[in-house]
Amino acid sequence: MSAEDLENYETDAELALYREYRDVVGLFSYVVETERRFYLANQVDLQVRSAGGEVFFELTLGDAWVWDVYRSARFVKTVRVVTFKDVNIEELAKAELEMPQ
Mean pLDDT by 10 residues, the chain (101 residues): 80 90 94 94 96 93 94 92 92 66 57
d(CA 43, CA 91): 10
Q: Which residues of 64-91 are buried (b: 16+ CB within 10 A; e: fewer)?
A: bbbbeeeeeebeeeebebeeeeebeeee
Report the distance separating Cα 25 and Cα 7, nearest Å.
27
User: What mean pLDDT, rounded, does the chain reach?
Assistant: 89
Query: What is the pTM (predicted TM-score) of this model?
Result: 0.81
Q: What angle do CA 23, 24, 25 make, to 5 degrees?
A: 105
pLDDT score recorded for residue 44: 98
Domain positions in the chain: 3-91
- What's the rounded Cα separation, in Å, for the pair 16 and 68? 11
